[in-house]
Amino acid sequence: MFMRVLNKWIQKEPSKNAITILKDRYFLKDGEGNYLESTWDEVAKRIARHVAAAEVNYTNDVEEIKNAEEHFYQLIKSRIFLPNSPTIFNAGKTMDRQLFKKDIEETTLEDYKTIFDSRTKHNMLSACFVIPMDDSMNAIFDAVKNAALIMKYGGGVGYDFSVLRPKGSSIAGTGGKSSGPISFMHVFNTAASTIEQGGARRAAQMAVLRYDHPDVFDFINSKKDNKGNNVLNYFNISVNIDNPKEFKKMLEEDGDLTLEHPASSIRKTIKANDLMNKMVENAWKTGDPGMLFLGRHNQYYAMSEHTPVTATNPCGEEPLPPFGSCNLGSIDVAKLVEDMDLGNPNSDDISEFQEIIYWAVRFLDDVIESNIYPLKEIEEISKKQRFIGLGMMGLADALYIKELPYNSEQARKFMAKLTAELAYFSHIASTELAKERGNFQDFQRSKYPDGFIPFPMLDDEIDEDIKAWNEKIRQHFQGEATKYKRNVQTNTIAPTGSISNLADTSSGIEPNFLLSYVRYMTNKEGDRVPLSYINPILMEKIGTNMTEELKAEIIEKGSIQNIDSIPNEIKKIFVTSMDIPPKDHLLAQHVIQSYLDASCSKTINMPKSSTIEDVKAIYLQALELNLKGLTIYRDGSLETQVLTSASKE
């Protein structure tokens, strides 16, 4: 078992910050609000045991189940791998605590069966859902109810509003006129705000509308007065441009676009450039709308001919068909890079990383069985296709450790190789599991038997190692993968907004937003005390040269680029989101997305001084790369921003 890295991390306790988050959100409580847990160890054991119990479906050999539990426990306890939040706070919930307190040696097959059989609606473990609606009142309000059930247990929901007829269309039966998709988005938003009060965490939703829907301008404008949290605040919005290359051509030719809808006689002709300009202008103002390229999602989705994806989850990383769900998990690559030569196809450590990925994939596949689904339709398609999303976090910190500037060609090659390696071993693991447990039910109808590769890959010429990964990937998909595949999709890179804090690492594939910040904590006496944080890898790098004065300056600025006493070599490596030109954010997304069968969460950060033209340049460039969508954020464009450095507070 991957002993070397495990031994290093398993003893390391989560930071104060991580413990605070655990207390706030993840430790189980009884009905009166008393804590049932107080350590990370208990949480790790609870998750590992609940999920391993799913293996009673495959074996009667208790040693085999214990072996799985032990691997899951070690991965989670060491925080080398963490599942998405709903798995952390809902696994084992409302079950008999004694079953989770037993030592693993004393745990019996009956105990695992009891855990499996005592699952209730409280044990919803997935983060991502897509809920469909039809163009009828009944169906719309059914969707509101279904989404409410999901959000109550901490899942995020996406919807395609394109099916709703445009505002002003006739309604048969009443003689009235439809109020259009945007009016219904407000209904979903209000429902989300109500659920939040009793739910596990802030509700989150994604609304998608096709670029040729007659209400597309209303959609694009629906959040234009947002100043942070005041308009459709439980929604991200994205315009679906099915074919980005075709759209680019239309823009270059200054072509016309017809807006129409099958359920309406409304038809409008507009200039494609007017649509683009409006999207860009509003994105410059508030970050919304983003773009989504569902055609490309479907191109790389093995079941698109039967159940095309119609929307994504709230943060955009998980495209799903109607009623689709996905559970995510992330490997903290920053914890591995010192000891493993990640991304190198000829490395001696390759089998250790492969083993970590195998157990992470097996864990996520077990989550599909140990999950309780909010609706039978969701359970059905989730089990037929078995979506899982293994991704990574800690990329920015890993690059600091490897001394590769995030915005360099060298870093991009590393990102590509690392993601290729993740994708390759995840798919190998899914194929191994299929041999033991069977293919996903729809496998024969999917594109896999034809040798389908579920992502575009980068050009072979770029680098010898990339060429080697591409070759391995081709061999896999033309060979064993034509017969065995347990999961329709395997790789998703989540924002890891909360779990990266639990892991004390940088989030997802994003650069660090700040190298330092001040957080206010309330002490026992009820006083607010400032807690300052400086990135520990930077602290180590500066070493004994870190004076109190320098610390204060770093905390003040959040970035080191304008600090004279710090050498240039260090400045180059320790870059933050705002230190990097937007184009380099985009290229990072491009290389990483080239190896993902699902997608990734990535924000293209832009400086406050960016003009509308600068935003447009990014929107246009995005249409040409291997991207599945685009989200930009111009610094300071919303009044409420997640993090600001001390000087900006």
Beta bridge partners of 239: 209, 291
Contact yes or no for 342/418 (Cβ under 8 A): yes
Shortest spacing between CB 17 and ligand ADP, in angstroms: 14
Shortest spacing between CB 346 and ligand ADP, in angstroms: 32
Shortest spacing between CB 312 and ligand ADP, in angstroms: 8
Shortest spacing between CB 6 and ligand ADP, in angstroms: 22
- Tokens representing 209 are 């509308």
Contact yes or no for 361/388 (Cβ under 8 A): yes
Nearest to 238 by CA among 289, 285, 274: 289
Question: Does position 497 bind ligand ADP by CB under 6 A?
Answer: yes
Shortest spacing between CB 328 and ligand ADP, in angstroms: 6
Active site residue 626: no
Helices (H), 312-408: 350-370, 376-385, 395-402
**Judged by CB under 6 A, which of 201, 384, 472, 571 binds ligand ADP?**
201
Enter the DSSP assignment of 211: T
Helices (H), 222-335: 244-252, 272-286, 294-299
What is the DSSP pairing of strand 81-83 with strand 325-332? antiparallel
CA 416 to chain centre: 18
Q: Which is nearer to ligand ADP, 168 or 497 (CB)?
A: 497
- The structure tokens 């430790």 sit at 27
Residues of this chain, 213-272, that bind ligand ADP according to CB under 6 A: none
Question: Does position 202 bind ligand ADP by CB under 6 A?
Answer: yes
Burial of 221 (0-12, 13-18, 19+ CB in 10 A): middle
Question: Does position 14 bind ligand ADP by CB under 6 A?
Answer: no
Shortest spacing between CB 367 and ligand ADP, in angstroms: 13
Question: Does position 498 bind ligand ADP by CB under 6 A?
Answer: yes
Question: Does position 314 bind ligand ADP by CB under 6 A?
Answer: yes
Question: Does position 156 bind ligand ADP by CB under 6 A?
Answer: yes
Shortest spacing between CB 192 and ligand ADP, in angstroms: 9
Rounded CA-CA distance 591/466 in Å is 11
- The structure tokens 């965490």 sit at 201
Nearest to 339 by CA among 394, 294, 398, 391: 398
Tell me the torsion sign for CA atoms 11, 17, 23, 28. Answer: negative
Shortest spacing between CB 79 and ligand ADP, in angstroms: 13
Rounded CA-CA distance 103/66 in Å is 11
Q: Which is nearer to ligand ADP, 340 or 509 (CB)?
A: 509
Shortest spacing between CB 389 and ligand ADP, in angstroms: 9
Measured CA to CA in angstroms, residue 512 lies from 183, 399, 485, 588, 599 at distances of 37, 11, 36, 14, 20
Question: Does position 162 bind ligand ADP by CB under 6 A?
Answer: no
Q: Which is nearer to ligand ADP, 202 or 245 (CB)?
A: 202
Residues of this chain, 67-86, that bind ligand ADP according to CB under 6 A: 84-85
Nearest to 215 by CA among 282, 267, 167, 265: 167
**Judged by CB under 6 A, which of 14, 92, 132, 154 binds ligand ADP?**
154
Q: What counts of helices (H) and strands (E) characterise the chain?
A: 24, 17
Rounded CA-CA distance 360/389 in Å is 10
**Judged by CB under 6 A, which of 155, 295, 324, 558 binds ligand ADP?**
155
Shortest spacing between CB 324 and ligand ADP, in angstroms: 12
Q: Which is nearer to ligand ADP, 203 or 336 (CB)?
A: 203
**Judged by CB under 6 A, which of 91, 127, 542, 591 binds ligand ADP?**
127
Nearest to 121 by CA among 148, 85, 158, 94: 94
Give the three-state DSSP class for 472. Answer: helix
User: Which of these ranges, 178-186, 195-203, 442-450, 609-617, lies near ligand ADP under the rule CB under 6 A?
Assistant: 195-203
Q: Which is nearer to ligand ADP, 84 or 610 (CB)?
A: 84
Shortest spacing between CB 462 and ligand ADP, in angstroms: 29
**Judged by CB under 6 A, which of 180, 214, 324, 495 binds ligand ADP?**
495
Contact yes or no for 181/161 (Cβ under 8 A): yes
Catalytic residue among 236, 282, 313, 371: 313
- Tokens representing 318 are 């998980």
CA 298-461-569 angle, to 5 degrees, is 100
Query: Residues 6 or more apart from 597 whose CB is under 8 A from it?
Result: 300, 301, 302, 423, 454, 455, 489, 490, 491
Question: Does position 313 bind ligand ADP by CB under 6 A?
Answer: yes
Q: Which is nearer to ligand ADP, 280 or 331 (CB)?
A: 331
Measured CA to CA in angstroms, residue 521 lies from 27, 526, 554, 644 at distances of 19, 9, 20, 16
Give the three-state DSSP class for 444. Answer: helix
Active site residue 545: no
Residues of this chain, 84-113, that bind ligand ADP according to CB under 6 A: 84-85
Q: Find the residue with minimal CB distance to ligand ADP.
A: 156
Question: Does position 493 bind ligand ADP by CB under 6 A?
Answer: no
**Judged by CB under 6 A, which of 123, 496, 512, 621 binds ligand ADP?**
496
Give the three-state DSSP class for 520. Answer: strand
Q: Which is nearer to ligand ADP, 374 or 495 (CB)?
A: 495
User: Which of these ranges, 152-160, 262-270, 448-456, 590-598, lies near ligand ADP under the rule CB under 6 A?
Assistant: 152-160
Question: Does position 128 bind ligand ADP by CB under 6 A?
Answer: yes
Shortest spacing between CB 313 and ligand ADP, in angstroms: 4
Catalytic residue among 69, 317, 421, 510: 317
Number of residues that bind ligand ADP (CB under 6 A): 21
Rounded CA-CA distance 187/197 in Å is 16
273 C-beta neighbours (distance < 10 Å), count: 17
**Judged by CB under 6 A, which of 378, 499, 554, 555 binds ligand ADP?**
499
Active site residue 189: no
- Tokens representing 567 are 């050498």
Beta bridge partners of 313: none
**Judged by CB under 6 A, which of 395, 494, 509, 600 binds ligand ADP?**
494
User: Which of these ranges, 202-210, 236-244, 349-357, 403-411, lies near ligand ADP under the rule CB under 6 A?
Assistant: 202-210
Residues of this chain, 608-627, that bind ligand ADP according to CB under 6 A: none
**Burial call 237-253: b when 16+ CB within 10 Å, e when fewer:** bbbbbbbbeebbebbee
Catalytic residue among 90, 189, 226, 315: 315
User: Which of these ranges, 218-226, 243-251, 310-318, 574-582, lies near ligand ADP under the rule CB under 6 A?
Assistant: 310-318
User: Which of these ranges, 181-189, 294-302, 368-376, 494-502, lies near ligand ADP under the rule CB under 6 A?
Assistant: 494-502
**Judged by CB under 6 A, which of 22, 47, 133, 204 binds ligand ADP?**
204
Residues that bind ligand ADP (CB under 6 A): 84-85, 127-128, 154-156, 201-204, 313-315, 317, 494-499
Give the residue numbers marked as catalytic. Answer: 313, 315, 317
